[in-house]
């Protein structure tokens, strides 16, 4: 689950923006009441459901979601380590699952990954990476915490 806070311009009002699982629509909650859900289709944010919300609110919340590093980091991991990484998935804003390609030197990739991942991570909180070989039979975990570096 990922939970974000969206503050209105007055900095007095705040909405909770919640996604329970990767790929699901984001729920907009105000004081415990579900106002609606939004999802991004073909590069645009759309409101789902019957409730009416201001377009400015939907756009602002969409921009907040788009600005989060967990939207960019999986693609960056796949691009940076394209010879090794088959899939990289955000499991939340602090946890990532990486599955390697078959027939790579998994031990070598572990050494490379451990030594370099700290330069890619920008978030100022603990980030956990779970890395598996292509058969999901071997794994390792790396935890980065920029707050304590």
Mean pLDDT of the chain: 88
User: What pLDDT, in 10s, does the model give residues 105-122?
Assistant: 999 999 999 999 988 887
Is the pLDDT at 20 greater than 80? The verdict is yes
Report the DSSP beta bridge partners of residue 96: 90, 129
pLDDT confidence of residue 147? 64
Q: Do 6 and 62 lie in a common domain?
A: yes
Q: Do 79 and 125 lie in a common domain?
A: yes
Q: Do 37 and 106 lie in a common domain?
A: no
Q: Do 140 and 86 lie in a common domain?
A: yes
pTM of this structure:
0.69
Q: Do 7 and 54 lie in a common domain?
A: yes
Q: Do 79 and 143 lie in a common domain?
A: yes
Close Cβ partners of 99 (under 8 Å, ≥ 6 residues apart): 85, 86, 87, 88, 131, 132, 133, 134, 136
Is the pLDDT at 149 greater than 70? The verdict is no
Do residues 17 and 4 make contact, with C-beta atoms less than 8 angstroms apart?
yes
Q: Do 46 and 78 lie in a common domain?
A: no
Alpha-carbon distances of 114 from 16, 73, 120, rounded to whole Å = 34, 16, 11
pLDDT confidence of residue 38? 94
Is the pLDDT at 146 greater than 80? The verdict is no
32 torsion bin: left (phi>0), alpha (psi -120 to 50), beta (else): left
User: What pLDDT, in 10s, does the model give residues 27-67?
Assistant: 999 989 999 999 999 889 998 877 788 889 899 999 988 88
Section 79-99 average pLDDT? 91
CA separation for the pair 30, 28 (Å, rounded): 7
Q: Of 67, 92, 119, which closes a domain?
A: 67
79 torsion bin: left (phi>0), alpha (psi -120 to 50), beta (else): alpha
Residue 11 confidence class, pLDDT cut points 50, 70, 90 = low
Q: Do 6 and 52 lie in a common domain?
A: yes
pLDDT confidence of residue 69? 74
Q: Do 63 and 48 lie in a common domain?
A: yes
Domain that residue 91 falls in: 71-148
Q: Of 39, 67, 95, which closes a domain?
A: 67
How many distinct structural domains can be found in the chain? 2
């Amino acid at each position: 689950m990922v939970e974000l806070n969206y503050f209105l311009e007055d900095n007095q009002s705040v909405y909770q923006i919640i996604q329970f699982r990767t790929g699901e629509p984001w729920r907009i909650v105000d004081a415990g009441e579900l106002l609606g859900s939004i999802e991004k289709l073909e590069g645009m944010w759309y409101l789902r459901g019957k409730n009416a919300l201001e377009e400015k609110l939907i756009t602002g919340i969409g921009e907040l979601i788009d600005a989060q590093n967990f939207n960019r980091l999986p693609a960056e991991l796949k691009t940076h380590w394209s010879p090794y990484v088959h899939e990289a998935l955000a499991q939340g804003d602090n946890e990532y699952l990486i599955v390697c390609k078959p027939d790579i030197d998994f031990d070598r990739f572990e050494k490379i990954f451990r030594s370099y991942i700290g330069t890619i991570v920008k978030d100022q909180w603990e980030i956990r990476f779970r890395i598996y070989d292509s058969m999901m039979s071997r794994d390792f975990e790396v935890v980065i915490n920029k707050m304590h570096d």
